[in-house]
Amino acid sequence: MTHAAGLAHATLNALPAWLERQRWYGDKGRTLQSLRVDWCVSLGDLLELSVVRLEFTDGESSRYFLPLCASAIPGAGAIVELSPGCHLVDAAQDVAALDTLAHFFLDEGILPGLEVVRTHVQISQECFPVQAGSLEQSNSAFSLGDAGFAKIFRRLPDGLSPDWEIGLHLTQGANPVRVPKTLGAILWHPEAGEPVVLAQIWERIEDAEDAWTHGQILLAELLAPGVPPELASEEPATGWCRILGMRTGELHRALMEDRGDAAFTPKALTDSVLEATALQARSLGEEALVLLEQALPQLPEHDQTLAIAILARKEQVLARLGEAPSVDPRALRIRCHGDFHLGQVLWKEGNALILDFEGEPARPLEQRRAHHSPLKDVAGMLRSLDYAAQAALKTCGGSSLIAMNWRDAASQAFLSGYLAAVTGTPLVPTDAVEFRALLNFHLCEKLLYELLYELRNRPDWVGIPLASLSELLA
């Protein structure tokens, strides 16, 4: 048995329990039926790249990318002890293993089943030392010196990552847009199907904070005792949201660019497309409301009151989701960000850079790669501004009137900046009534998605989408 096969197979018995402890593991709580190694290859004597397939008792399956290495230091990523003093560890937490992976990319290495793809963007040689990331979410991250930032994808889709497709499209496009440039990727070619991105590399953006943090700092100042309420809706507090709206519009204009690639060619926002979207939204709403009814006894009293009122109007909610808005057929649908919120934006020197085009992780790949009205992204950011205001109240206390005044003014500033960037294009309906109807449809859809997410993951936050859903239905 090869070194690679030895590492991958040695850990099979230990993997299920270890996977359940990983934040990026997307199948928590499901009953595992079997686990096998689909593919593995060694990079030198240290690192093994493995893809494992998990089969569940419900008939579904998932694939995960596991970079593995042996280490004398168990650390946080330890999976199992192979022999006395030698542990099998997650290579995403091992600097020496990450250094090997970075050299493979920079040297455009060749191995069976792997392809290194580099863009035309010049890659700085200041890519070392490599440093493991400290934050684990749905994927793993590490930095390449001062020049690059890399993401290791964990749960692998059956096709190309939207983050890679869109990042490449924007980096190589003619229309300038403020995103971190995509430098390249390491692709795995399975025996059947499309290539799959195992790791992607971007230029590193120094001295930036994410827009969520930027907003929370600002809101903490506005919610401090003695601050005049009118400051929440004035330009110093909301002007940055107008800039963010403009950058969002510029992003959508760049995604509208047609270079003959069918994956990005704009499509008409027809009645049949809207009806299919409404059908999906209604199904999502039904699932969310069933889960809300089941969770009702466990909710806090205030959230219970909101939930009871929503459930009493269940048919109205579902009818609203199931009714497709009618828009001018000249309006377009395009590839969108797909999971647009303040955490997907970097704020630096008074400007915004947009990143992370993977889409909503709970959605199937087919939906995440689909064309949508760009107002789907607009609705996502408007919801994020509401979350920012509500989160600041949870953290800082203070006046809810001030927080809601800021939310409303920031939302209006974002919309005005967005419309300034897209006016004159077929990205949005020109009729104001059609525009508002389509935006409200996507807001309602997003609210039900949030409700489902919070019930499953953060029950303490369920009041935020419930309150906003009540407002929208009023």
**pLDDT (tens digit, 9 = 90+) per residue, 342-365?**
999 999 999 999 999 999 877 889
pLDDT at residue number 130 = 93
For residues 389 and 218, the answer to whether their CB atoms sit within 8 Å is no
- Enumerate the domain spans of the chain: 3-89, 96-203, 209-473
The yes-or-no verdict on residue 5 having pLDDT over 80 is no
397: left (phi over 0), alpha (psi -120 to 50) or beta: left
CA distance 377 to 77: 35
> How many residues in total does the chain contain?
474
Q: Is residue 12 a contact partner of residue 23, using CB atoms and an 8 Å limit?
A: no
Give residue 424's region: left, alpha or beta (phi > 0; psi -120 to 50). left
User: Helix H segments across 189-270?
Assistant: 211-222, 235-255
Contact 18, 87 (CB under 8 A): no
Report whether 214 contacts 237 (CB < 8 A).
no
Give tens-digit pLDDT for 36-95. 999 999 998 889 999 999 999 999 999 999 999 988 887 767 888 877 888 889 999 999
CATH topology for 209-473 is Aminoglycoside 3'-phosphotransferase; Chain: A, domain 2 (3.90.1200)
pLDDT tops 60 at residue 3: no
Show the tokens assigned to 212. Answer: 């969520």
The residue ranking higher by pLDDT, 404 or 473, is 404
How far is the C-alpha of 191 from the C-alpha of 168, rounded, in Å? Answer: 24
What's the chain's average pLDDT?
Answer: 92
- Is the CATH number of domain 96-203 3.30.200? yes
Q: What is the pLDDT of residue 121?
A: 78
Q: What is the pLDDT of residue 84?
A: 82
400 band by pLDDT with thresholds 50, 70 and 90: very high
Nearest to 263 by CA among 188, 173, 162, 176: 162
